[in-house]
Amino acid sequence: MSVVAKPRTTPRPDRVAVKTALLSVSDKAGLLDFAKGLAASGVKILSTGGTAKTLREAGLDVTDVSDHTGFPEIMDGRVKTLHPKIHGGLLARRDDADHLSAMTTQGIEGIDLLVVNLYPFRETVAKGGDYDNCVENIDIGGPAMLRAAAKNHDFVTVVTSPDDYADVLKEIAEGGTTLALRRRLAARTYATTASYDSAISAWFSGQLGETFPKTLSVSATLVDTLRYGENPHQQAAVYSDGSGRAGVVTAKQLQGKELSYNNLNDTDAAFELVSEFDSPAVAIIKHANPCGVALGSDMISAYHAALACDPVSAFGGIIALNRTLDGPTAAEIVKIFSEVIIAPEISAEARTILADKKNVRVLETGGLPNFADARMTLKTISGGWLLQTADNGHITEAELQVVTDRAPTEQELKDLLFAFRVCKHVKSNAIVYAKGGKTVGIGAGQMSRIDSSRIAAWKAKEAGTEIQNSVVASDAFFPFPDGLLAAADAGATAVIQPGGSIKDKDVIAAANDRGLAMVLTGMRHFRH
């Protein structure tokens, strides 16, 4: 049953003076300057535990919450602010005669400002805390107070982040906080408590081994609003999931224009691709599809090989490296226009070279993501979401099934595994030709697999790459022999594909007829 609000008999106040504040924070950043500002404005300060100790050691006059309530902290501090004198002081409407009467009768003093940030639950989990330690770092009193103060924002100002200290102090000094500020902070507070509970929920699901919990709770923090989305008439923003995974969201931008929605999407695709490889690797991406990918003995050789696959499409693309970008490689990269360059590190020499291309966005991630991480991907559909585990599958040589009369040679085998790993990052239907640790032709996003085979071969011919005696990878099975025959006509000598078609026997027979070696992976890599 819903609770019906009492009719309001007075208008909402705009300015509300702050006479009493309760401060209880785990993040002490900016705390002393803020508390000194409150004291200078004549605000009485209530506090708890470590916060009170910090303030008192700085010479500030502080009243312990236990003295304010007349009730001691008990149960190792689990119960200290869960008291009517705290919650009554936060929840009482100052324009309600019954509320004011109850405050007088019960000796409850109004609390006009609440400053709380919560126990470091996420940090405890991130540091590998054991089960009991994580549970102990679930804050109870903090969220209860925050929700109470935010509900009563007509009269109470609530702060959850040091980022808001300056605005609050400024308005207090001007006579009181404004309704606009109190509402903004209240909204932020509910987002904070929701995010906190989301993190706890996700942790519990992990502890219970639940990949797909009954209720999905998603939490993210705004990183930046973007100029527009995929197209200029769309609005967009980028959020952080708080995982700290090395990549485009956590990267430091060293130079260049503001990153766009498409820049971020393409750069993420490029960096995730090169992170798959242990050897030096370079990927050039356009519209989330690879133009070229290559391994090399060093970054400059890998870059040249990647560029050779499709130098026309590479213009204005995204370049990702999985090693430090050095000066010689940077000098080659700047010979064509690129939108974004991303690498774990950028050497001082490379930074100097890139500085001459002021519009090129340069990102340094500080490391590579662990591709084996258990991650989830989330996509919106009408009326809901699609959630799945990330495609972290890596096929090894031991898992391959040779199904043709001829087995692949050692070099073909290396190239097949390389091509299939690249294929995972190409939009379906996907075909990748490779030779000598580099792509030589890529066909992406076609409605039929044979068209992808033909397009990849055509692009190889246009680029002048050597497709003869290459290998070919398909992200899914060949439904008919025609796609495989198109690859054979282009010059492929070995094939890697998942298998599983009702026409597998016909495809294998066609491969044998052409003298191809073919291996099956049993793993598909659709990417939409």
Active site residues: 151, 287
CA–CA distance, 451 with 448 (Å, rounded to integer): 5
For residue 453, what are its two tokens?
A: 């085979």
CA–CA distance, 448 with 433 (Å, rounded to integer): 17
* 381 Cβ contact list (under 8 Å, min separation 6): none
Peptide bond into 429 cis (omega under 30): yes
For residue 40, what are its two tokens?
A: 């200078």
Beta strands 63-64 and 376-381, pairing class: unpaired
If DSSP codes are grouped into helix, strand and coil, which group holds residue 282?
strand
Contact criterion met (CB below 8 Å) for 486 and 508: no
Contact criterion met (CB below 8 Å) for 44 and 60: no
For residue 355, what are its two tokens?
A: 């500085």
Residues in the chain, how many? Answer: 528
What does residue 229 show for φ and ψ, rounded to 5 degrees?
A: -90, -140
Exposure string (b/e) for 41-79, b if CB count within 10 Å is 16 or more?
bebbbbbbeebbebbeeeebebebbbebbebebeeeeee
SS3 for 157-187 is EEECCHHHHHHHHHHHHCCCECHHHHHHHHH
If DSSP codes are grouped into helix, strand and coil, which group holds residue 109?
coil
Beta strands 63-64 and 44-47, pairing class: parallel
CA–CA distance, 335 with 307 (Å, rounded to integer): 11
Contact criterion met (CB below 8 Å) for 242 and 210: no
Q: How many CA atoms lie within 13 A of 482 on its CB side?
A: 8
CA–CA distance, 168 with 172 (Å, rounded to integer): 6
If DSSP codes are grouped into helix, strand and coil, which group holds residue 225?
strand
CA–CA distance, 512 with 495 (Å, rounded to integer): 11
Beta strands 20-25 and 44-47, pairing class: parallel
Amino acid of residue 441: G
DSSP H or E stretch at residue 47: strand 44-47
